[in-house]
């Protein structure tokens, strides 16, 4: 059985003080077990969040990193810098990074390799645009992104990663995918992992759905056989709402 994982993606929201306030509230109300909990915060809030969440089962994640260990890369942050803070997860290849910061399958792959080498769990985002969906290209898009992200990675390492299927048209729009459609695409992603890395890896890797998930609809996604949790933006910004998502998983 795969342990469900609910990851919040705060994007470019919350100062250090706001992150501390969230953590104190989340800590006080954190009474669901059997679900892996992760908050992916801006770099500047990670240390404060780690300090506040010490002794809880809520892990912290970053939303990006560079693939090099160090060097003349102004403005960038490496995997080992994240590890030093106590970060366990890192979102890689989010569609906003692909769209606004020119991330490609190739750079995502380099980041996946570097994250795994440093002992971080990558949450690899894949998903189609509305145009691609309407053109019937969803399966091809998620296949190419999945194969690209994990090129050259060992099956055993792939098994311990997390994939987030996030149709771009559903992110931050309030237009969520139906649970059945999300499950169908997630099953395709799982079969791609099976073809490339074997059935045991496909059965172990966790695949989340992301795109306008809220406390009101989380149960419908979790009822699907291939959906192992959610990557949540907007609804993860309020502690009570995040805890409701966890309880719904
Ligand atoms: C996201 O940021 O990955 C996301 C899915 O956002 P939202 O839940 O707000 O659609």
pLDDT digits (tens, 9 = 90+) for 48-105: 999 999 999 999 999 999 999 999 999 999 999 999 999 999 999 999 999 999 999 9
Asked whether the beta carbons of 221 and 181 are under 8 A apart, the reply is no
> Region 148-154: what's the mean pLDDT?
98
Structure-token match 């803070």, residue found? 85
Cβ 220 under 6 angstroms from ligand 1: no
> Region 130-159: what's the mean pLDDT?
97
Does 233 show up as a binding residue in the annotation? yes
Q: Can you give the C-alpha Rg of the chain in angstroms?
A: 17
Indicate the average pLDDT of the chain: 97
- CA–CA separation, 183 and 181 (whole Å): 5
What CATH number does the domain containing 215 carry? Answer: 3.20.20.70
Q: Does the structure's ipTM exceed the value 0.90? A: yes
The residues, any chain, with a CB within 8 Å of residue 36's CB and separated by 6 or more, are 3, 4, 5, 6, 59, 229
Is 1 a residue whose pLDDT tops 90? no
Asked whether the beta carbons of 38 and 89 are under 8 A apart, the reply is yes
Mutate to test the pocket of ligand 1, among 231, 235, 237 (most ligand atoms within 8 A of CB): 231
Asked whether the beta carbons of 189 and 126 are under 8 A apart, the reply is yes
C-alpha 211 – ligand 1 centre gap (Å)? 5
The four Cα atoms 54, 56, 62, 66 give a dihedral, to 10 degrees, of 60
What's the number of domains the chain is made of?
A: 1
Cβ 8 under 6 angstroms from ligand 1: no
Q: Is the pTM of this model over 0.95?
A: yes
Nearest CA to ligand 1 atom 6: 233
Asked whether the beta carbons of 236 and 39 are under 8 A apart, the reply is yes
- CA–CA separation, 90 and 4 (whole Å): 17
Cβ 167 under 6 angstroms from ligand 1: no
pLDDT digits (tens, 9 = 90+) for 196-212: 999 999 999 999 999 99
C-alpha 23 – ligand 1 centre gap (Å)? 20
Q: Based on the residue annotation, tell me whether 94 is a catalytic residue of this protein.
A: yes
- CA–CA separation, 49 and 23 (whole Å): 6
Catalytic, out of 96, 103, 128, 166: 166
Which helix (H) or strand (E) element contains residue 232? strand 229-232
pLDDT digits (tens, 9 = 90+) for 98-144: 999 999 999 999 999 999 999 999 999 999 999 999 999 999 999 99
Task: Write out the residue range of the structural domain in which residue 217 sits.
Answer: 5-248
Structure tokens at 159: 């098994």
236-240 contacts: CB < 8 A, separation 24 or more? 236/7, 236/8, 236/9, 236/10, 236/39, 237/8, 237/10, 237/13, 237/14, 237/22, 238/22, 239/22, 239/23, 239/25, 239/26, 239/29, 240/25, 240/29
Structure tokens at 70: 């160090």
């Amino acid at each position: 059985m795969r342990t469900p994982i609910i990851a919040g993606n705060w994007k470019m929201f919350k100062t250090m003080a706001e992150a501390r306030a969230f953590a104190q509230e989340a800590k006080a109300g954190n009474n669901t077990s059997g679900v892996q909990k992760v908050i992916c915060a801006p770099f500047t809030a990670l240390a404060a969040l780690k300090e506040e969440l010490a002794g809880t089962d809520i892990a912290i994640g970053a939303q990006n990193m560079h693939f090099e260990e160090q060097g003349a890369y102004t403005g960038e942050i490496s995997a080992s810098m994240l590890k030093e803070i106590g970060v366990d997860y890192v979102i890689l290849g989010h569609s906003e990074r692909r769209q606004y910061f020119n991330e490609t399958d190739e750079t995502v792959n380099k980041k996946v390799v570097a994250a795994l080498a440093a002992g971080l769990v990558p949450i690899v985002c894949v998903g189609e645009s509305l145009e691609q969906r309407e053109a019937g290209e969803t399966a091809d898009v998620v296949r190419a992104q999945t194969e690209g992200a994990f090129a050259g990675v060992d099956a055993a390492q792939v098994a311990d990663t997390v994939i987030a299927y996030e149709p771009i048209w559903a992110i931050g729009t309030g237009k969520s995918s139906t649970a059945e459609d999300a499950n169908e695409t997630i099953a395709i992603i799982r079969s791609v992992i099976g073809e490339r890395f074997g059935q045991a890896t496909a059965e172990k890797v966790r695949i989340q759905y992301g795109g306008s998930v809220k406390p009101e609809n989380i149960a419908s996604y979790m009822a699907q056989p291939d959906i192992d949790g959610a990557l949540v933006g907007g609804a993860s910004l309020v502690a009570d709402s995040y805890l409701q998502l966890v309880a719904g998983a």
